[in-house]
Chains A and B, each alone.
Chain A
Amino acid sequence: MTEKTLERRAAMATLLADRPQNLFVVPGLGSTTWDAAAAAGGNDDRDFYLWGAMGGAAMIGLGLALAQPKARVAVITGDGEMLMGLGSLATIGVKQPPNLFLIVFDNGLYGETGMQASHTQNGVDLCNVARACGFERVLDVYDPEGLTVLAGMLRKSNRMLFARVRISREDAPRFLPEKDGVVIKDRVRKAVALLG
């Protein structure tokens, strides 16, 4: 098991750099929402920032991906949020949406509640869970080269994938996007409508 990790803000910035118009992001409750906001330098209309609904990010991504085949949908969430919706990996594995990319920033910690250990630092391997749920393309990303490969797939791949991005345990400063859920929802819907 490698000890290499990536810094979360830089990793998110790399994944979303020069973002194509049709790349939508569902970041999970907590740190990945702050990471996405930081990468956008504030707010991006194509991000559905989650301030709650823990465990729901992957399924929100599935509904969006099924509804809008022209969109590329990246769910980028944390290990704690993914563990709360572990069944959704099975549900998505059955549906195999080609335009859904599930990315977990894994530091083995619940960051928002005070850095308590999650199951992923105690033997639970989300890559293996994803494989067992029917994800054929599974990436374990821990260095800049792997991140570049993943960023490329986000733009070009037409196959569902699961990626674990091993991130370091340093907490990043809070970077808060829009908090009003109605505003966030309406912005995403307008951005979807622009796809035609």
Chain B
Amino acid sequence: MTDAPHLTLVKSAVTWPDELFDVLKRADIRQVGYVPDAGHSRLIALCKADPDVHDVSLTTEEEGIALAAGAWLGGQRAVLLMQSSGVGNCVNMLSLVRACRFPMLMLVTMRGEWEEFNPWQVPMGAIVKPTLELCDTHVTMAESPDQVVPLAQSAAQIAFGGDRAAAVLLSQKLIGRKVWK
């Protein structure tokens, strides 16, 4: 097995994932935990191609909370990339963030929120924001490409400046409707 084709990325009309990568680089993010996700695919590929970033593919999102805590113990900043369904997998592990006041930056691609075709995505997608807020996470939602960079920059500052969790939800409006072929 190789992780081949990610380097042959074609520049697409959608530029916010590239801009998001630049935000992460400026914030000195050195570890990226992720569960493979269509909406995050370009950002994940950019992270994998960067030798200064440890990319860690996870079996479940809560591993990424623990990974980011460990990274901070070791002096590095991390980000967790996931889909809205993954937020539910993180709930108890977010106790670690609150109990120890770890910085925790999360970028969440939304499902079950706009133009959703799969009803099984709706129950978790509908409760992502209140769930994260119950876990003491600062939450904002980017619904248009021009909102992505300022909200991500702000979230990074809130997380690493404020020693707490901050999440940016990336609306399905940014990612587009999933097309079955």
Contact = CB atoms under 8 A, between A and B. Distances in A.
Contacts, number: 117
B70 A62 contact: yes
B75 interface: yes
Interface string A47-75: 01001111111111111111110010000
- Grouping DSSP codes into helix (H, G, I), strand (E, B) and loop, the A interface class, with mixed when no group exceeds half, is helix
Nearest to A184: B100
B173 to A, nearest CB: 32
B83 interface: no
Interface residues of A, number: 36
Contacts of A137: none
A126 to B, nearest CB: 16
Interface in B52-102: 54, 56-60, 62-76, 78, 92-93, 95-96, 99-102
A90 B73 contact: no
A77 B152 CA distance: 36
Interface stretch (A30-38, A115-123, A168-176, A185-193): A185-193
A56 B65 contact: yes
B99 A52 contact: yes
B71 A66 contact: yes
B30 interface: yes
A94 interface: yes
Given A53-B96, A56-B93, A181-B101, A91 B73 contact: no
Interface string B124-136: 0000000000000
Contact of B74 (A64, A85, A182, A184): A64
A88 interface: yes
A188 B75 CA distance: 10
B73 A67 contact: yes
A61 B70 contact: yes
A56 B75 contact: no
B74 A51 contact: no
A53 B74 contact: no
A53 to B, nearest CB: 4
A61 B64 CA distance: 12
B31 interface: yes
B75 A192 contact: yes
Given A26-B70, A56-B69, A59-B66, 6 more contacts: A60-B70, A63-B68, A88-B66, A91-B63, A95-B54, A185-B102
